[in-house]
Amino acid sequence: MADQGRARKLAERIQQIVAQMLDTRIKDPRLGFVTVTDVRVTGDLQHADVFYTVYGDDEARAGSAAALESAKGLIRSEVGKQTGMRLTPSLDFHLDAVPETAAHLTAALSEAARRDAEVAALAATAQFAGDADPYRKPAEESDEDDDDRAGA
C-alpha cells in the first residue's frame, strides 16, 4: 500500500499530463473546451479518476465525453511513459458537477438575499404588539408588593 503523499503527488502529475495531452496531442474535433479539475488516485496506485469540466451545452459535454473515452488508451500510455511506473493506473473520466453546483448555490444565495431584504423591509415598518417597553420597572414592582401586603 502506497502512502498518501505518493498518491497525492501521482495525482498531481497525472493531472498535468492529461491537461497537456488534451491541449497538444488529442486532436479529436468532438473535444470541446475541457478543463481537468481534479484527479484522485486509489491508495494502491492502480486506478485514477480524472474529473473534468466542459465549457458549453449538453451536446459539447457529450461530445467531449466520447472523445475522452476514445483517447483513454493514448492518454494512459503517455501517463505510463512520463511517470515511469511499473504498473500504469487505469483511467476513468468523470464530468465534474462543480459548475452546476456553483450555479445552484448562487441561485440559493440570491433567493436568501431577496428574502432577507423582504424581512428587513417588514421589520422597518413593524410596530410592537403591546407596550413599547413590556418589562417591569423597579418602581412598579414595589407598588404591586405594597398592594399585595395591604390586601393580605
Over the stretch 95-138, which tens digit does the pLDDT of each residue have? 887 777 888 899 999 999 999 999 999 888 888 777 777 777 78
Q: Is residue 45 part of a domain?
A: yes
Residues 6+ apart with CB under 8 A from 147: none
Q: Collect all residues with Cβ–Cβ distance below 8 Å to 26 and sequence separation of at least 6.
A: 67, 71, 74, 75
41 in a structural domain: yes
Domain that holds residue 61: 4-96
Chain segment 10-21, per-residue pLDDT in tens: 999 999 999 998
Domain-embedded: residue 20:
yes
C-alpha cell at 71: 483517447
Whether 131 is in a domain gets the answer no
Asked if the structure places residue 47 within a domain, the reply is yes
Whether residue 9 is contained in a domain is answered as yes
Q: Is residue 102 part of a domain?
A: no
What's residue 39's pLDDT?
A: 92
The CATH number given to whatever domain includes residue 29 is 3.30.300.20
> What total of structural domains would you count in the chain?
1
* Region of residue 114 (phi > 0: left; psi between -120 and 50: alpha; otherwise: beta): alpha
User: 10 Å Cβ neighbour count for 75?
Assistant: 20
Task: Tell whether 76 is covered by a domain.
Answer: yes
